[in-house]
Each structure stands twice: as structure tokens, then as C-alpha cells.
Structure 1
Amino acid sequence: MEAVKQQLRKGPIVASLLIAAFVAILSQTLLNVALPKMMESLNVSSTTIQWLITGYMLVNGILVPISAYLIDKFSTRHLFIAATGLFTVGTLICAVAPGFEVLLAGRLIQAAGAGILMPLMSIVFLTIFPIEQRGKAMGMMGLAMIFAPAVGPTLSGWVVEHHSWRVLFYIVLPLTVFGLIYGSFAMKNVTKLSSPKLDLPGIIFSTLGFGGLLYGFSDAANPTEGWNSARVILSLSAGVLFLLLFLWRELKVEKPILELRVFKYDMFSLTTVINMIITMAMFSGMILLPIFLQTILGFTPLKSGLLLLPGALLMGVMSPVAGMLFDKIGARWLAVFGLAITTYTTYELSHLTVDTSYNHMLLLYTVRMFGMSFLMMPIQTAGMNQLPQRLNAHGSAMSQTLRNVAGALGTAFLVTMFSSSATANGTDQIAAAHIPQAEVVAFDKLLASGQLHADDKAKFVETLAAANIDPQHAMQMIEFKREATVYGINFAFEIATWMTVAALLLAFFVRRTKPHTENVTVKEGTAVQA
């Protein structure tokens, strides 16, 4: 196997995977900013359009756990072509979709391709690079995974301001076609094939378990649903039930589709927990800062994206550097250094005010992303390095699956903390000002219906008068709501700060490891190391 590694031309293989991964992640992040324009163009509700994001996440989350089976069953090249081909077909369908239903179908096909592609990339990198070069290799992988989300929102904001949302897919399409054609020639078979038996009950339990959890957490983050929604409770309950059945099945069956015994390796388990915490904390910035920038500071989506762009680009540039440092000094002190910066900047972000300046926000976010550039890939690589080669596919699938669940849980939890604390603070301020409850109810109805236009003073006063609301009280309530929003954002960032403190403490226990060796019996009385 080592001789095969030496003979491989790694450059073309790496380039194929990075191109395909970049396009897949770019497509995933492009739509967030474009959803309002797409909602208007397709004439659908906000709940309906959100399925373009939720559906993508569900299909992606369902496919990742079974990716280990696919990687064992099919050759690297065939799996790459199938995954990239699916993504290309899905992109084309999205670009020409006449309505929402066809557009959603295209997104789900895209997600199927991406759900296979991302774990495949991790396995190929771990296979073709020796352990002393894995940090640098995973750093290159991190470059594609970070650079795409950096440019996605900004590019999307500019496109939807000047062109149709379809242009987003027309931008992605030639890139994915190029990746498919180039990869068809450059990709080589690098993984060992076996003949794993398809565990159909395991796939069903996995699909319903992870799908139920991801959907439930995603729906809980929706302000119109929340944790008390019957649909959220049913989804989470079903998810937990089928996940327990999946765990029972995988521990019982001889050839599981997702090997849970990866958790008997202590460093893999520790780094997986740390990365889940980091994922939840990272989502605090991704979710809460756009709310602050657009709702409180009044920035356009494009201007918000531009403020976040330098930090994301710096994180992408630093990812290969962090990988090279990992090869020299290991993950512990990189993680401690990165988490110390992340903890401090997250704490600073919990002290925002309505007067916080643009430059202060830019500096804080950029420094925060600098700290995070030393975290994800080095910590994940430290854990994966402990696994024997036969468990690489299972470890990668498990790690990515749990990060998906952590992202969905982190989003739902932080949004809930933000909205509940903001609502409570706003209610307290209004009560302290002794504003009549009838005016509060009428004012909330006007806000929800979009009938208030503060930029047109005459119409603003006329609308208030028709609803029997004192204009002075209305101005107070507007200011209270702004202050309550800031309070809620700060409270959510306080929680995220404690998350990063927990991860920082755990980082001190990360240590260097080498792949575990196992004795595999080939003949009676004879054993070899694997």
C-alpha cells in the first residue's frame, strides 16, 4: 500500500477533489442571502422557500452516515464521478426550474452528490498522504471548505441585487462541469474495496433517526414553530427513537454501515466532542451577526457580507498554515491558542450596543476567524490519526454526521436563547414605561403586517392614529425592540462564550497519536499487523 501511495500523482487527485468540494460548498452557501428574492420570484411563503435549505441539509445528513458503506463498496473514481455527476445534474435542474417543486428536486439531487463527495474527500486525503503530511493535506482541504462560505454570501448578495437568482446556478454550473470532466481523467482508485452486505434496517433507522433530529432542530429554530411545536416534538421524538434502534442495530450486526466502535479510541472521541462544541459556537457568529448588522445597524445583505468577508478569507488563507504547523507541533497548542482567541472575541461580541461601530465589528470578527483557523481541521486530523486505516471511512462519516447534528442543534438552541431573552427584555422595558397593553398589541400587529413605514413620517403618524397608538409610545416601543434585540444577541453570545471555554479546557487533553495497529488472522497460528 505504501508503494502505491508513492507512485500516485497526488496533485491531480487533490485538485479534482478540491474543485468539486469548493463548488459543492459554494452552492450550499449561495442561497441564504437570495431566499427573499427567490420567495418573491416564485411566489411562495417564507416557510416553503426554507425547504431549499432544510431539504438540502436533510438529504446531506442522511447520506453521510452511509458513505462509509459506499466507499467500501465502490471504487474511488466511480464514486467521485457519480457524486459530481449528481451534483451537476442537480445544478442544471435548479438553473432551468420553471417552479418551486422542480427547483427543490434539483436541490435534493445536489445534496445527494455533496453528501457522498465530502466524506470521500476526507478518506482519499487520509489514504494518499502519510501521517507526517496529513496536517498539510487537511489544511488544503480546509482551504476549499472555508473559502467557499467566505465568498458565497457576498457573491450572492451582489448577484440578487443586479440579476435574477438563476444566475447563481449558472455561475456554479460551468465550475461543476469542469470539475466532473477533469476529475474523470485525474481521479484514481486509492481505497481498498470489499463486499460489505447492505444493512437495509440500519439504513432505514439511520435515515429516520438522523433525519428526524436534523429536521426537528431545524424547525425549532423557526420563530413560527419553536420547541413547543407539535411537529418539532414529534420529529425529535421519532429521531431519538430511531437513533436508539440504529445504535442497537449497528452494535449487533456483523458488518455495520457505520462502525460505532470508533469511539473506543479516546483521542477520536475527545476531538469529535471538541469539534461539535466549536461548530455550535461558530454558528453563533454566522447566525447572530447578520441579524445585528441588518436589523440594528441597517446594513444591506451585501454590506453585511462584505464585513464578514475579510475574516472568512483570512481563515481560508491560514488553514494550510495551520496544517503545516500541525505536522510540526501537533494539535494541542494550536487548539489552545485558537480557542483562547475564539473565547476572548466571543466574549467581546457579547458586549455589543446600538452604537457599536463598523470598524470594531470588522476587527472582532476578523480576529475571531483567525483564531478559528487553528481549530477545525487540526483537531479533526488529530482524532482521525488514531484510527486504523480500515476505520477511516467510518470515522470520517461519524465525525461529519455529528458536526451536522451539532450545527443544527446549535442553530436551534442559540436562536431560541436569542429570541426568548429578547422577548422577555422587550416586555420588561414596555411594562416599565407603562404603555397600555392595547397599544402594544396593536403595534405588534402593525409590525407583523408590514404596514409601518417610519421613513414616511406623515403615513407613519396616520397609520398609528388609525390604530389608536400614541406616536410617542410607538417611538419608545421601536427603541425598546432594538435594545431588546441587542440584549438577546449578547445573551446568546454569552452562552457561546461558555461553550468555547469548555472546548478550551478539553483542548489541553489533546495529544499526538499514531494509527492503531490491529492483529488480523490470515491463517491458523499466523497473524499480521494491519
Structure 2
Amino acid sequence: MKTQIQVKSPKVMAAILMLGAFIGLFGETALNMALTNVMDQFAVQAATAQWLTTGYLLTLAILVPISALLMKWFSTRKLVIGGIVISLVGAILTAISPSFAILETGRIVQAIGTGIIIPVMVSVLLVIFPIHKRGVVMGIMGLVITLGPALGPTLSGVVISTLGWHYIFWISAAFYVLLTLTAVAKIENVGEITKPKIDALSIVLSTIGFGGLIYGLASMAGAPFTAPLVWAPLLVGIIALVLFGIRQNTMDKPMINLGVFKYPMFTLGTAMMFLSILVILSTSILLPMYLKGSLLFSAAVAGLLLLPGNAVNVILSPIVGTMFDKIGPRKLALAGSIIVLIGNIIFAASISATTPAWQIVIAFMVLFFGLTMVTIPSQTNGLNALPREFYADGSAAMNTLNQVAGASGTAIAITLLTAGQTGFASDVPDASQAEILAAGVKYAFYFVTGISVFLFICSLFVNKPSEENVQSQVFVCSTETVRN
């Protein structure tokens, strides 16, 4: 366990890191509300536009396992300031983008900066505050992380309606400038630079593996599975990930210790988080398009309609954390998974071009009520199942798969949306665009509902880890807060 490191301004350092992470995670979902605007401006289809979100999440997935090495090779100041500056460059590129290619490049650059800031934030906050304050600090950090992607569609909807989607990133850039100036003055070095040997082959295999897998899934939106554009990257990705796993198990100091998956409750918790993130990111990209394209709401109104569901998540998170300590994970996860299933059944049954908005608001609130009850116990219980020395590896493995789930959920949702639209347009040639889009969204929600069924099945096997594996350092678990 790390001891506290004294710094001059721990609260300011924490604020810089949390705000940097917040802006980056806000950017993760901010463009979801503007996808239809981007599609019109750059004349691209949904299958192409979804890469603005998928590419962002994929970049984070690739960087998470690499970030542990970066923290051992570069000082805290260099990583924090570098991450913020890289994010600033990405935000500016996105804001001025004259083409879709530049827009996508800017998104990836900003994701690189965010991928550096988030793991550094967790590491720094654990060592600059005393043990008795860590739980509170990590709770605040968790709330910040939750609010970022949750408020993305809502806040961006208001900005899009009043100023235009480019200003989402001009505003972000302004905050990054202020953060850079403050970081130069206040960030201190707290990490230990050991410069361990970098296993280039592990990095290459993980990059090709995750990249191939997500690229293949995303390509299914515009091509059949039999097309080489789809199955070839999927095959290469799977082979690379298998080789990556074999290499990690044969190394003395692996990039990610896959031995964490020998603990059943950790594996189950990771699987439930994976399924939950699939649901969250699928919903976050489908609903904005549906509200704007089928129900014909403005971006601002569509964002506000999603606000009650996000508010449920923010309000319920600390309550679920308290209940977890009192009643354990099983009852929460089981009840939550049932509620998630009910919410998705409502979506799958009610979505149409004439659905009253209040039904969508209620279904979204029900969905996030259940997701909050599932994700926090799943993640915390999974990490509790590990011995203390495996926390870092468990965190890296779980977070990597969370990002892969997010990218996969986005890609699969758009693929099914496109397939549903094509099938409905063929069956009903005279259908309006609003009806076609609604049919596509409804079709995609059949998949999301199916994922909810698997989530419920997993929840039946949740148990509290044996007492000898439960660590007294509860604050460590608090760092792994749900991203939605």
C-alpha cells in the first residue's frame, strides 16, 4: 500500500485532474447528439459517422494497458501537462475540421490525451491524500467520471441548438487552455520512474487485437459478414488477442497479469460490467438519433429528455454504494438486472415514430435505475475478490474490456440500426424517413434486450467473495466507478 506523498496543493491537483478527465469523458458522448448534423454536413452514412464514437472508445481501450508503462517512464508533471495539451490539440482539430477525416483525427487525438489523464488521475489521488480521506476523494472522482459521459448528450444538445456542434469543442479547448496554465503552476511529481523494459510485441499484439476486433464489428454496419472487410480484421484481431494472452502468461512481468481471471467473482463482475457497458453505449448512441430523427425534437430538447435518466444515475450512485456495504452485492445485482431488462423491454415494445416522449423518458429512467444497481456492485465485488497485489492488474483488465465493450456496443448498435432500416424500407416502400429510423432503432433494441437477458443470468451467480480475499482498503474499490 502506498503511503501519502506531501504536495503543496493536493486539492488543486485533484481538481485539475478531475476536470481534465471530465472534459475528456464528456467528449466521449458529446457528439452522439450531433451525429445527424455531422452526417448531413459531411455527407456520410451512420455506419461512417459512428466511428466518431467508436474510434474514441477504441483509442481509450488501446491506451489503458499501455498507460501503466507510461507512468513508470515519465514524470507526473509531463504526463498530466502532456495529456492536457494533447487533448487541447484534439479539441481544436475537431472544432476547425473542414472534412470528416480531420474530424475523426481530432477525436482520436483528444482520446489519446484522455487516455493518459484518467489512469494518472487515479494513481495520483491515491497517494496525495491520507488514507482516512481517500474514500471521500474517490467518491467525488467517481461522480465526476459518471457525470462526464452522462451529461454529454444533454449539454451538447443545448450547445448544438444555440451555437452549432463545433462550439462543443471550442468550449472544451478553452477549458483545456486554463487547465494547462494551472497544471504548469500546480502539478507536482509524485510517481516513481523505474523505466522498466517495454515489451513492444505485447503492445503491438494488443493494439492489433483490439483494433481488428472493433474495426471488423464496426464494418458490419456497411458490409455483410462474408465480406473480407468484416471477417478478415475480426479474424486477425482474435488471433492477435490469443497470442497476446499467451505472451502475458509466459512473461515474468506481463503488461497485464491475466491471472486475475482465475478468481471467479472477478471474472463474473468483469463480464457483468462488459454487458452493462454494451447496454449503456448502445443506448447512448441510439436514443439521440431516434429523438431527433424520428420524434423530430431539437438537439436541446432531446438532450433535456435524457437528463432525468442521467440524474437517476448520479443521485442513486452514492445510495447504492452505501447499500452495498449493508446488504452485499447479490440482492442489488439481481434486482438491478431485472429492472434493466424491464427498461429495455419497454423500449423494444414502444419505440415508433409516434411514441409519446414521456414513455421514452420513463423507460430511460428505469434503465439507468437498474444499471446503477448492477454496475457498482459488479465492479466493486469483482475487485474485492482479488488479493491486494492484483488490484492494479484487475483494474487494467476490467477497464480495458469496458472500453472494448463501449466500442463494440456502438458498432453493433449502428450495424443493427442499419439492418433494421433496410429491412423495414424493403417491406414498407412508402414509409417515411421517421418511420424507417424508428424501425431501425427498435430492431437494435431487440439486441440490447437480449444482452439484458444475459446480464440477468449472470446476476444469479453473484456471491460475496470469501472473507480472506476482502481487503480493508475500501477506498481502492471506490476508484473503479461505473462509466456510462
In the alignment, is the contact (CA less than 8 A) between 2:344 and 2:448 conserved in 1? yes
Q: Distance in 2 between matches of 1:57 and 1:185?
A: 31
The Cα RMSD (Å) is 3.6
**Structure 2 partner of 1:436:** none
1:171 is displaced (CA, Å) by: 0.7
**Residues 441-479 of structure 1: CA deviation (Å, up to 9, x unaligned):** xx5xxxxxxxxxxxxxxxxxxxxxxxxxxxxxx36x889
Change (3 A) 1:264 1:31: same
1:288 is displaced (CA, Å) by: 3.8
**Structure 2 partner of 1:176:** 176
**Structure 2 partner of 1:514:** 470
In the alignment, is the contact (CA less than 8 A) between 2:344 and 2:445 conserved in 1? no
**Structure 2 partner of 1:374:** 373
Change (3 A) 1:482 1:110: closer
Q: Distance in 2 between matches of 1:89 and 1:378?
A: 37
Residue type at the aligned position of 1:304: A
Change (3 A) 1:487 1:311: closer
1:166 is displaced (CA, Å) by: 2.6
Q: What are the equivalent positions in structure 2 for 1:89-128 lying under 5 Å apart?
A: 89-97=89-97, 99-125=99-125
- Which residue among 449, 457, 462 is the counterpart of 1:502? 457
In the alignment, is the contact (CA less than 8 A) between 1:89 and 1:106 conserved in 2? yes
Residue type at the aligned position of 2:89: V
- Higher-RCO chain (CA-CA 8 Å, sequence separation at least 6): 2
Q: TM-score, normalised by structure 2?
A: 0.83
Q: Distance in 1 between matches of 2:425 and 2:436?
A: 6
Q: What are the equivalent positions in structure 2 for 1:81-480 lying under 5 Å apart?
A: 81-97=81-97, 99-125=99-125, 136-220=136-220, 222=221, 224-327=222-325, 330-352=328-350, 354=352, 356-388=355-387, 390-416=389-415, 420=419, 430=427, 443=429, 474=430
In the alignment, is the contact (CA less than 8 A) between 1:208 and 1:239 conserved in 2? yes
Deviates more, 1:64-73 or 1:384-393: 384-393
In the alignment, is the contact (CA less than 8 A) between 1:95 and 1:167 conserved in 2? yes
1:212 is displaced (CA, Å) by: 0.9
In the alignment, is the contact (CA less than 8 A) between 1:271 and 1:383 conserved in 2? yes
Residue type at the aligned position of 2:176: T
Deviates more, 1:195-204 or 1:124-133: 124-133
**Structure 1 partner of 2:478:** none
Larger Rg: 1
Deviates more, 1:169-178 or 1:140-149: 140-149
1:264 is displaced (CA, Å) by: 2.9
Q: Distance in 2 between matches of 1:267 and 1:133?
A: 28
Gaps of 5+ in 2: 474-484
Q: Distance in 2 between matches of 1:484 and 1:51?
A: 22
Residue type at the aligned position of 1:502: I
Q: Distance in 2 between matches of 1:336 and 1:131?
A: 32
Q: Distance in 1 between matches of 2:141 and 2:371?
A: 15
1:188 is displaced (CA, Å) by: 4.6
Deviates more, 1:28-37 or 1:293-302: 293-302
Change (3 A) 1:216 1:296: same
1:275 is displaced (CA, Å) by: 0.5
Aligned length, in residue pairs: 471
**Residues 233-288 of structure 1: CA deviation (Å, up to 9, x unaligned):** 11111111111221122222222222222223343322111111111222343244
Q: Distance in 1 between matches of 2:41 and 2:340?
A: 40
Deviates more, 1:130-139 or 1:196-205: 130-139
Change (3 A) 1:190 1:482: closer
Deviates more, 1:362-371 or 1:295-304: 295-304
Q: What are the equivalent positions in structure 2 for 1:40-119 lying under 5 Å apart?
A: 40-41=40-41, 50-97=50-97, 99-119=99-119
In the alignment, is the contact (CA less than 8 A) between 2:54 and 2:411 conserved in 1? no
1:113 is displaced (CA, Å) by: 1.0
Q: Distance in 1 between matches of 2:140 and 2:466?
A: 22
**Residues 113-139 of structure 1: CA deviation (Å, up to 9, x unaligned):** 112222333344555678887765544
Q: TM-score, normalised by structure 1?
A: 0.77
Change (3 A) 1:135 1:383: farther
Residue type at the aligned position of 2:308: P
1:13 is displaced (CA, Å) by: 3.8
Gaps of 5+ in 1: 431-439, 444-473, 518-530
Q: Distance in 1 between matches of 2:376 and 2:98?
A: 40
Change (3 A) 1:2 1:344: same
1:158 is displaced (CA, Å) by: 3.0
Q: Distance in 1 between matches of 2:49 and 2:439?
A: 28
In the alignment, is the contact (CA less than 8 A) between 1:72 and 1:195 conserved in 2? yes
Change (3 A) 1:410 1:511: farther
Percent pairwise identity: 35
SS at match of 1:255: coil
1:84 is displaced (CA, Å) by: 1.8
In the alignment, is the contact (CA less than 8 A) between 2:46 and 2:414 conserved in 1? no
1:204 is displaced (CA, Å) by: 1.1
**Structure 2 partner of 1:19:** 19
Residue type at the aligned position of 1:230: P
Q: Distance in 1 between matches of 2:194 and 2:451?
A: 43
Change (3 A) 1:351 1:135: farther
In the alignment, is the contact (CA less than 8 A) between 2:348 and 2:446 conserved in 1? yes
Residue type at the aligned position of 1:372: L
Residue type at the aligned position of 1:357: P
Q: Distance in 1 between matches of 2:421 and 2:45?
A: 25
In the alignment, is the contact (CA less than 8 A) between 2:218 and 2:415 conserved in 1? no
Deviates more, 1:346-355 or 1:307-316: 346-355
SS at match of 1:4: coil
Q: Distance in 1 between matches of 2:360 and 2:79?
A: 43
Q: Distance in 1 between matches of 2:78 and 2:322?
A: 31
